[in-house]
Amino acid sequence: MIQVYIEYWKQYFNWSGRTTRKSFWWVFIMNLAIALTLILLYIVTTGATVVLSFDFEGFNVATYIFGSLLILWSLATLIPTSNLGIRRVRDTGLSPWIWLLSPVSSILGGFNNFPAEIVSDILFLAFLGLDLMPSKKGRISSRSQSQGSLIIAIGLIALVGFSVVNLPAKAEHIVQGLPQTNLVIKTNSDAKISLSGLTSESKQEVISAYKENGWKLSESGENLIKQIYSANQQFVIDNQTYQTDVNGKVIAKVTSNIVTNITASDSASAPTIRSNIDGKNSDSVKIRTPFAKTKTVIVNQTIDVNEVVNQMDMVNGNSMPEDVSPQNQDTSTIKLTPLSFNLLSNGVVRKYRVGEKVGCNDFNAFGTDNIHHNKADPRFWIDFMGSDCQNVVTNIPLYLATCKKDSTKNPFCKPNSGACSTIQKMPRTYHHMSIFGGVAK
């Protein structure tokens, strides 16, 4: 038996001559035993699900070693095994072209449909059945070597070419047949307003006003929190993009027991939004899906309204002058004038002309007093409540979509940029001064 196997390797490039039935089957059994052993070792090192789903992140060193050995073994035996088959067919007295049944069977087996697989199995069994036939004496053509090499070339080129083209579809077919888990992403989105910097009396004034509009005070007493709209947010799960439904959920089917990448794609590009995915403070996490019907991942997102306001409250790349004046000046009298309005900062007057953007709009809310106050003034937050700027901030998908659209010409809602504008689908001129002493609507 050992001698037969040694002879098999010695005739690596021998496409002529014959191979007896006994020699063929001894080599067949030994190669099959070696291949099955490598496959078994390759699978058991990390598990069938991880291996068959090509979850390379779940592979350990042993898996890579046995997987590499299996590939090398398959490549090394491809040509001598094909030569062995041709010589065996020739030994039965049949045409060596019949050997093409073997690669044709492999090609048909690569199709992901039942009839092709049945025909593949029939052809393979027919080829093995012919190899069971006894030897038949006869004259061998002097051109058997060139004829054999031609047959091998045709068969292997067809087989390799089809395998390369069909490999992605075959891999997907294998993965679809593996155990699946319903990955449910449930989002909880909040808007947060920090009250730090306000006096105790001012805090109570703002808290009272916001509580009537669905805002709640945090346990620390330093922040106002409101649950906000979380539909239409984008998540990337293993390179596929999903959007949350009206309930803020995403349901995706993934292979069980593999490492799955989850990324909150939109919030990852918005520094004003903090994400916590599956207990990790990050915009992107990796989790191993369990062997279960459902795996729920909780995503908590918080948009920092104070930071967004700071971004909105910019004009021509510079911060708006605060309406903080020297002690002997009264900012409560700073109003919009027919041609301009003034904001005082350390006694310096800045004039805003007709048509100029005035920063974050807090002039069109129901409780506005038409003054752009310092954010340390409770009146700013009272004016801000119900304004169109606040409506955008408390809708994460709208905020992300509108504040990113105009990123080339006027990157509003970005650091060192301008104020929110019509990119938020709000009135076109609400940031601009009108000649009638108010903000144009």
Torsion sign over Cα 284, 288, 292, 293:
positive
Cα(122)–Cα(109) distance, integer angstroms: 11
Cα(16)–Cα(88) distance, integer angstroms: 10
Q: In the listed set 176, 205, 228, which residue is the last one of a domain according to the structure?
A: 176
Answer yes or no: do 281 and 318 share one domain: no
Answer yes or no: do 240 and 357 share one domain: no
Answer yes or no: do 217 and 292 share one domain: yes
Q: In the listed set 158, 176, 194, which residue is the last one of a domain according to the structure?
A: 176
Answer yes or no: do 12 and 40 share one domain: yes
Answer yes or no: do 17 and 156 share one domain: yes
Answer yes or no: do 88 and 160 share one domain: yes
Q: What are the pLDDT tens digits along the chain (441 aa)?
A: 789 999 999 999 988 888 999 999 999 999 999 999 999 999 888 887 778 767 777 788 998 999 999 999 999 999 999 999 999 999 999 999 999 999 999 888 878 778 888 999 999 999 999 999 999 887 777 788 888 899 999 999 998 888 888 877 777 777 677 888 999 999 998 999 999 888 888 899 899 989 988 899 999 999 999 988 778 888 999 889 999 998 889 999 988 888 899 998 766 556 778 889 999 998 899 998 888 889 999 999 998 888 877 766 544 444 444 433 323 333 333 333 333 333 333 333 333 444 444 445 555 566 666 666 667 778 888 878 877 677 777 777 767 665 544 444 444 444 433 344 444 444 333 343 333 333 333
Residue 429, domain member (yes or no): no
Answer yes or no: do 279 and 208 share one domain: yes
Q: In the listed set 255, 288, 304, which residue is the last one of a domain according to the structure?
A: 304
Answer yes or no: do 31 and 153 share one domain: yes
Answer yes or no: do 213 and 71 share one domain: no
pTM: 0.62
Residue 66, domain member (yes or no): yes
Our count of domains for the chain comes to: 3
Residue 36, domain member (yes or no): yes
Residue 430, domain member (yes or no): no
224 touches 193 (CB < 8 A):
yes
Answer yes or no: do 164 and 249 share one domain: no
Residue 431, domain member (yes or no): no
Query: Which CATH number goes with the domain that contains 217?
Result: 2.60.40
Among the listed residues 206, 189, 337, 196, the one whose alpha carbon sits nearest the alpha carbon of residue 267: 189
> Tokens in use for 246?
């009206």
Answer yes or no: do 347 and 319 share one domain: yes
Answer yes or no: do 63 and 93 share one domain: yes
Range of 167's domain? 2-176
Residue 346, domain member (yes or no): yes
For 88-238, list the strands marked E by DSSP: 180-194, 216-217, 223-227, 234-237
